[in-house]
Amino acid sequence: MSESPAASAADRRELTAVQRNAVTELLRVSPVADELGRRFAAAGHELHLVGGSVRDALLGRLGNDLDFCTDAEPDETLRVLKGWAEATWETGREFGTIGAQRRGLLLEITTFRAESYDGVSRNPVVAYGTNLMDDLRRRDFTINAMAVSLPDHRFTDPYGGVDDLAAKVIRTPGTPQESFGDDPLRMLRAARFAAQLRFALHPQVRAAMVQMAADLDRITAERIRDEFTKLLCGADPIRGLRLLVETGLADRFLPELSGLKLEIDEHAQHKDVYEHTLTVVSNAISLESDGADFVLRMAALMHDVGKPATKAVTPDGRVSFHHHEVVGARLTKQRMKALRYPKDVMTQVVGLVGLHLRFYGYGRGEWTDSAVRRYVTDAGDLLSRLHKLTRSDCTTRNRRKAAQLAADYGALEERIARLQAEEDLARVRPDLDGNAIMELLGVPPGPIVGRAWRHLKELRLEHGPLDRDAAEAALLRWARAEGIVD
């Protein structure tokens, strides 16, 4: 890449900062890493800190998970670790990886690899390599193709990873076509690193992603799911999401995202749904209080995916999307099921998508206490996230309208808080339990008890708490009307 002298000088200043970060981070983990390096050397083997660990050290963000590579095969690695590691595990053995723990650090030690794909299989075929340089060449990006040899701390950077870190660019060690042909998931990883690190793609990398997007179909849903989850939980997911759409990768596993690019009518009767969605995701992130919340972010991303299927134009030219939340919830469930998300995660996201429109209309003064109780009860454990999603969805440019929506939702939250304090809305239950129902009606366990319980719960939602006498009288009136008692 050609650069101006000014840009090169700026990069040199960045390199100085990068090098200072690396020294600080590596000194912190050096005792354990050097001990391990000496043990491998004594056994006649090489050991190198490698990949993401070196990258993160250079960025000043090295954690407690360290990645190493070695010419030792797994059995020999276990022999070196015996008596030194506090614990070892072999869950990654089929990929040549042995895990270990020492002084609070988690270590993954992998035999040099020369893995490749046959162009058809959906998982890598692992073969052991023989040297560090070949191992580095098969890695995904230059910023992950650097190594620090142990215990002598020799730095190896054959593909200019340090320069690319300073320039904040994602580039492959060989040609992008070669790299993505070996493992098409690397295209999704490129977008993920752009989101996590706020880096740009090298033009050749972007072009290859466009050209080879269909190759992602060779990858298992689980691997795609894991990379996409990391992307969405990155520091700048909007950057990554745009890359997915612009390169065509989204069409391969999340076509609903690209589908939000609805044609805007000439009179601009509806907002750009795609741009609105990205704004909602950004708004939701700003409301997070304890790190990245995948459920909230995914619900924000999917909340309007039902609009393309429900778009209608009235005779006067107005655009509507009636019941798009219902359709969106169904589409979200289908997509997350296809990507093999856990059922509990899927249920939460689908619930939020289905509920995200419930608030609208509150400001017209139509909501009774009963409606508020139902809102809270239907949301259940999702209420806090629903508050954030609903506030995030208010993206109108009309300042007066935006202020009114914010005030209305603030009023609803205050009303919910008041009713919760009075009635414990989080645990709305009928005023009589199953045993009391059976005793009063003289019926055994069975469907009648369930019907009676649901009737009493409806009364509880509609009217609030009833005292014992009122609840029993209401139950008997219902039972007589249903022919259950005389």
Asked if residue 171 lies in contact with residue 205, where contact means CB atoms within 8 angstroms, the answer is yes
pLDDT at position 261:
84
All structural domains of the chain, each given as residue ranges with its CATH number in brackets, are 1-167 (3.30.460.10), 168-253 (1.10.110.30), 283-427 (no CATH), 434-481 (no CATH)
Q: What pLDDT was estimated at residue 374? A: 76
| pLDDT score, position 359 | 75
Give CA–CA dist 218/120, Å, rounded. Answer: 7
Residue that the structure tokens 């840009």 belong to: 7
Alpha carbons 86 and 92: distance in angstroms, whole number: 18
**HSE-up of residue 142 (Cα within 13 Å, Cβ side):** 24
Q: How many residues does the chain have?
A: 486
In 137-255, the DSSP E strands lie at 147-149, 155-156, 169-170, 200-201
Taking only the tens of pLDDT, the chain with its 486 residues reads 333 333 455 554 555 666 656 655 666 677 899 999 999 999 999 999 999 999 988 887 888 899 999 999 999 999 999 999 999 999 989 889 999 999 999 999 999 987 555 555 555 566 788 899 999 998 999 999 999 999 988 889 999 999 999 899 999 999 999 999 989 999 999 999 999 999 999 999 999 999 999 999 999 999 999 999 999 999 999 999 999 999 999 999 999 999 998 655 433 445 688 999 999 999 999 999 889 999 999 999 999 999 888 887 777 777 777 778 889 999 999 999 999 999 999 999 999 999 988 776 554 556 677 777 778 878 888 988 998 998 898 876 667 777 777 777 777 777 777 776 665 544 555 557 777 778 778 888 888 878 887 777 777 766 677 777 777 777 788 888 887 877
The Cβ of residue 311 has, within 10 Å, a number of other Cβ atoms equal to: 17
b/e sequence 388-413, b meaning 16+ C-beta within 10 Å: bbbbbbbbeeeeeeeeebeebbeebe
Q: How far is residue 409 CA from its own chain's centroid?
A: 27
- pLDDT for 48: 96
Here the tokens at position 299 are 């619900």
Q: How far apart are CA 111 and CA 132, in angstroms?
A: 10
Q: Which residues pair with 320 in a beta bridge?
A: 312
Whether the CB-CB separation of 142 and 159 falls below 8 Å is answered with yes
* CB distance 300 to 390 below 8 Å: no
- Using only the alpha carbons of the chain, give its radius of gyration: 29
Q: What are the CB-based long-range contacts (under 8 Å, 24+) for 153-160?
A: 153/26, 156/48, 156/132, 158/133
The residues, ordered by sequence, that sit 6+ positions from 172 with a Cβ below 8 Å of its Cβ are 140, 141, 142, 178, 179, 180, 186, 202, 205
